[in-house]
Amino acid sequence: MELLLNPETWVALGFLIVIGILLYAGAPKMIGTMLDARAATIKAELDEARRLREEAEGLLAGFKAKAASAEAEAAQIVTDARAEAERFALDARAQLTVQIERRAKVAEDKIAQAEATAMAEIRALAADAAAAAAEKLIAARMTDQKASALIGDGIKAIGSKLN
Is residue 131 domain-resident?
no
Is residue 161 domain-resident?
no
Is residue 138 domain-resident?
no
Is residue 143 domain-resident?
no
Is residue 56 domain-resident?
yes
Mean pLDDT of all residues in 54-62: 93
Mean pLDDT of all residues in 137-155: 81
Do 9 and 3 meet the contact criterion of CB atoms below 8 Å apart? yes
Domain that holds residue 75: 2-121
Position 17 confidence tier, pLDDT thresholds 50, 70, 90: very high
Q: What is the pTM of this model?
A: 0.33
Residue 138 clears pLDDT 70, i.e. is over it: yes
Is residue 162 domain-resident?
no
Give the span between the Cα atoms of 53 and 60, in whole angstroms.
10
CA-to-CA dists, residue 36 to 30, 33, 39, 42, 158, angstroms: 10, 5, 5, 10, 129
Per residue in 72-101, pLDDT tens? 999 999 999 999 999 999 999 999 999 999
Is residue 8 domain-resident?
yes
Please give the tally of structural domains in the chain.
1
Is residue 163 domain-resident?
no
